[in-house]
Amino acid sequence: MITKMKKYTFLVLASAYESFLEQLREAGVVHVTLKAEGMAENEQLQQTILEAEQLRHVIRQGAPDQLLEEYNSVLAKMEQVRRDMQRMEVWGEFSAKTIGALKDAGYTLYYCAEKQFSDELGVRVNEKDGRVYFVSVNVPIENDFCVAETLSDKCAKDLEKDMEALHALAVAAKARIEAWTQANIPSLEEQLLETQRRIDWQRVTLSTDSMAEGSLKLLEGFCPVENCEALDAMLADQAVYYEKEDPKEEDATPVKIHNNWFARLFEPLTGMYGWPNYNEFDPTPVLAPFYLLFFALCVGDAGYGLALILIGYLIYKDKLKIEMFSGLGPIIMALGVGCTVVGYLGGTFLGIDIYQAAWMPDWAKSVMFKAWIGDGKGYFMNYDIMMVMALVIGVFHICLAMTIKAISYTLRYGFRKMASTWGWLLLIVGGIITAIASMVMNLSEQATSTILIVIAAISALGIFLFNTPGRNPLLNIGSGLWDTYNMVTGLLGDVLSYLRLYALGMAGAMLGAAFNDLGLTVLGESPNVLTVVGFVLIVVFGHVLNLLMACLGAFVHPLRLTFVEYFKNVGYEGTGKLYRPFAK
């Protein structure tokens, strides 16, 4: 839901303007209209922004570049020594003096694949990982399979001592970073906050218009309706002239989103596409339940749902630290609940068909889809019930989008400009309702035909004649025909897109069952310790992998159905800006 706003225009004496801005920031409820002109050219503002970026860089890294470079340099040296150790251990112990003597005597060191080595090439020294390491005396080897080896000045044993010394340096460098972080990050965060306050102040100042040869200052902003009374009381004590009015369509009014606890979980998904304009509607209350349903259908397994609830709870309680999921514990738990319910109704638990399981009591099976559709086989009119359900959900979702669009756009632009939208809504939704009523209420064929003809006639008026008021009727008819082509082909593709909900759920269930069968095959009819371990490894690894793939698909595809199919049919623009008050 979008909070109602009031537009304020302030006119202040230049001598009292700085005091007024302090009071305005203290109130912390006005979103100031910022102007783009002059921002990029103002050196003071750009310098302050640069300071903020540098502070963020240090805070993000956890230490200044100098300490990090020192630590990374030690790690790079350790990696090089580790590689040299692996390379030198096959040659045994030696010294720099030995290396010099070998070179003076004409000895050359080589290695090649074991199957390509012969005694004519030289004297075998060692073998490792399918390679033979050998010495050639005064005979340079020229072929494509022998590689000359250059020894380090130290043997593997000496390099191991170097590694220990470097490890101590790395520990010391890391300790310095941790000590610096504990001592400086809190103050840097406070410094960043103060820098951001200066940036806000400078932007507001640059967005102020000067009038009457600089003696007056003009500023515009927006305030939520519930905060207007307190703001008016504050302004009454100031030497300020102001006007308060409802925002107009052309105003860049910010949006303040206010939803219940459930819809609030899904606001980040709305933000991924774009926030609504002030004159639009907030799609989150509709997005939230449908995204939850789509995600649950794509995963389609009650066992995976329980796993998501556990993972979400651990993240929420900060017991499981995964940076990319930080703060998302509640929504993961909510998605897990949806997967558990839908998976149970579908009769799948960790790839097991629990409806067919003998150990599942009849009362627990009675609420599953297969219990009341298709005599336990899960088919409706010879089609898989989950596939039918995906299509039904798709049709309902698109019809809901068209209904919301018709209502919201009518409130925004008036019915006269939305005749075509209402025509399509009446044709599609009215036709579907008539067809359902005909089957449920046993309407006669003549009555059904009459209703459909009336619906089609009324819809045609809006679609072909009144789609653009005031224009030539022939142009309206041509525009209606083109709109009809786009609507028919587009709606068919949109509805079929919802089959991905069924396909992903079925694929996950089949893959989970395949891992179960593979594990049982390894377990065999006479289990022992080895086969039990193999069974556990296969099942655990398989289901973890399947859960990860299912969640990836369940995140992406419902998002696509929302951003493409739903937002397109609902006419959502998503180009608004969030309400960010000028505050401390």
Percent of the chain exceeding pLDDT 90 equals 26
* Residue 375, pLDDT score: 59
Q: What pLDDT score was predicted for residue 295?
A: 94
- CA atoms of 69 and 63, how far apart (whole Å): 10
Tokens of 265: 């979980």
To 10 degrees, the CA torsion angle through 493, 498, 499, 500?
Answer: 110
Alpha carbon distance 559, 447 (integer Å) = 41
Instruction: Go through 14-41 and write b for each residue having 16 or more CB atoms within 10 A of its CB, e for each that does not.
Output: eeebeebbeebbebebbbbbbeeeeeee
Domain residue ranges in the chain: 5-61+174-245, 68-165
What residue type is 258 in one-letter code?
Answer: H
Q: What is the pLDDT of residues 380-431, one digit of tens each?
A: 777 778 888 888 899 899 989 988 988 888 888 888 777 788 887 888 888 7
Q: How far is CA 233 from the centre of its chain?
A: 43
How far are the Cα atoms of 198, 338, 351 from residue 288, in angstroms, in the given order? 37, 12, 27
Q: What does pLDDT average to in each consecutive run of 10 residues of the chain (584 residues)? A: 92 89 91 83 86 86 85 90 82 69 74 86 84 79 80 80 89 89 87 89 88 87 92 85 89 90 92 90 92 93 94 90 84 94 90 86 84 67 80 90 88 80 82 80 79 82 74 74 76 86 89 90 85 90 92 92 90 90 88
Token output for 316 = 């929420």
Q: Where are the alpha helices (DSSP H) in 13-155?
A: 17-27, 43-61, 65-88, 96-104
Q: What is the residue whose two structure tokens read 């309400």? A: 579
Amino acid at 410: T
| Residue range 519-533, pLDDT digits in tens | 888 888 888 888 889
Q: What is the largest CA-CA distance in the chain?
A: 109
- The answer to whether the CB of 386 falls within 8 A of the CB of 502 is yes
- d(CA 294, CA 563) in angstroms, rounded, equals 13
The torsion defined by the Cα of 434, 437, 441 and 442, in degrees rounded to 10, comes to: 50
> What stretch of H or E contains 137?
strand 131-137
CB 22 within 8 A of CB 240: no
Please answer whether residues 466 and 420 qualify as being in contact, where contact means their C-beta atoms are separated by less than 8 angstroms: yes
**What's the pLDDT tens digit per position in 77-110?**
999 888 888 877 777 776 656 766 776 776 778 8
Q: What are all long-range contacts of 453-458, with beta carbons under 8 Å and residues at least 24 apart?
A: 455/426, 455/427, 455/430, 455/431, 456/427, 458/423, 458/426
Which tokens sit at 378?
């899960």
Distances (CA, A) of 285 to 161, 335, 537: 64, 16, 42
Q: pLDDT at position 103, please?
A: 66
pLDDT for res 16? 87
Q: Which amino acid is at 231?
A: L
Cα separation, 88 vs 20, in Å, equals: 74
Give CA 299 to chain center in angstroms: 17
Q: Is the dihedral of CA 548, 553, 558, 559 positive or negative?
A: positive
pTM, 2 dp: 0.77
